[in-house]
Structure 1
Amino acid sequence: KLKLLGLTDAQVKEIERSGKAKDKVTIYAPTGGIVVERNATEGMYVQTGTRIYSIADLSKLWIYLDAYETDLPWIRYGQKVEFSTKAIPGKTFAGKISFISPIVDEATRTTKVRVTVDNSKGLLKPGLFVDGIVRASIYGAGKVMDASLEGKYIGPMHPEIVQDSPGKCPICGMDLVPAEELGYLTHPEDVLEPLVIPKSAPLLTGTRAVVYVKAPETSRYELREISLGPLAGDFYIVEGGLDEGELVVSSGAFKIDADLQIRGKKSMMNPEDSIEMKGHAGHNM
């Protein structure tokens, strides 16, 4: 019964040895950590189940980041995240993605991404605002590549656990899973690097994307419809319509297009040349 009340084996043995009851007894917390809330004061009457203190283990923290829906193609479980906080200027911290919410917030168009962080030095505090960056190497038609994970197995709930062979996670006991099952490309030699253009190059109509491409051996630029993939930072991945080495207008394409629209030529809003207008009989236009 004494053990159920929170006394340790050593305390019970001391009572048995002395054979005397004590008017004061030390109750040890079942887990280590930092007192984050005190609910009782000295002399206060407490009953079974009364919360006296709230204790939190802050040696590991969860950080929640908001990822825009356009960034989701590049985010993977287990990726390294670098982040900073204005509360500790000049210092960069790192953690690993341990959960990606399957839901997009309709108001903000963002998804919650949870990052597990080692806080053994105690520098980070719950409630701080942070800014995070995820860097991804992209191959093929927008595939995330990490060659360092080739042949590796990762803990499905603890991304910090990475091993060379199958087994159990030493923290939760779940089976480790191959990195490839988490969406990583680990063999880049068989996949071409993606063709990209600056995000300022294409003109977007809502249903299609066009660019102005330099015509070979001339100083003219031609309108061309292309197929775009996801946006990766400051670049769009091109899935079709352009070849490597072709020159495109990366800045000022809208001015070129506006001039062509005024002249009734082929443009973003005019896929074909406009028919030249003619005046009525007896009138010049």
Structure 2
Amino acid sequence: MEAAIRASQAQLFEAQAQLTKSQADWERAQNLMQANSLTQPDFDSAKLALATAQGKVKEAEQQVRVNNGKLTESKANVLAARARVDQSQGQVDASVAQENRSQAGVDSARSRTVGARSNVEQANVALGDIFLKAPMDGVILTRSVEVGAQVGPGTVGFAMADTHHVLVTFGVPDILVRDLKLGQRLDIKCEALPGRTFEGTVRTVAPEADADSRVYKVEVRVDNSKDVLKVGMIASLDLVDKEDSPRSIIAVPLGALMPNKDQEDAYQVYVIKDNKAKLRDVTVGRASGDMMEITSGLEEGEQIVVEGGNRVNDGQTVKVKS
């Protein structure tokens, strides 16, 4: 329980730190808004971030209070059970000292002692059941329960991941997958960590291509003992077809690709036509550095949104910067 209290206090400190940052961002946003140097969406985003941080602080404070209350209650139950044990043991001693007391009275007192000790054991079990202990060191990916929620046996409360090693997933076309072997070492790069290269080992190569994208799923295991790589980062690798000849390709920055919300492992880009951004499905090929080959869906010379796509809506009017 003390571990749970420390964890909830740590969450409170983290939430308070985030609130301090959000308050500073909010004050800055107000100043920029007064100076007409900030867009309304960014101003609303700063305001929402402040409200979210305030809510998380309140939630963390409530969790600290709940855990403190549970610890106090559990300790009180243990002390009460132990007091009953002492009382029952005293009755046993008194029964033995009184030679004229019937053996039935002695047996009854001993029975109460056994019952009291059982209560102590149950109270200790209950004390251990009021907090969760992670089975390993790792990172919490999702939380499926809320403070105060009633859950039943078998309910999944948290999803964790051991990030000392990470799996990087790539879609590799058939002309390149034939050269990959299990255990092969590859150099991995991350868009968020420019200039750094991470050595990985091929762990799995799909035996068949995806029915829609026609690429093969390849998993590369990368050492992450220094906790540099984070879950969800975009990674890339350079693969060269030994029999490939020079050819003209269409490639876009990785930041221009938007995950297709309706189809797993599929992507879209915003194509600009008549000053309007329209979502279009594309098929990706090989990655090279921070660029991704587009094998279908785009024509040479078409203009696309290369950054900030997550802030653009389908059909929205945009201004092209030269």
Answer whether TM exceeds 0.5 for this pair.
no
TM, length-normalised to structure 1:
0.39
Between structures 1 and 2, the one with greater strand share: 1
Between structures 1 and 2, the one with greater helix share: 2
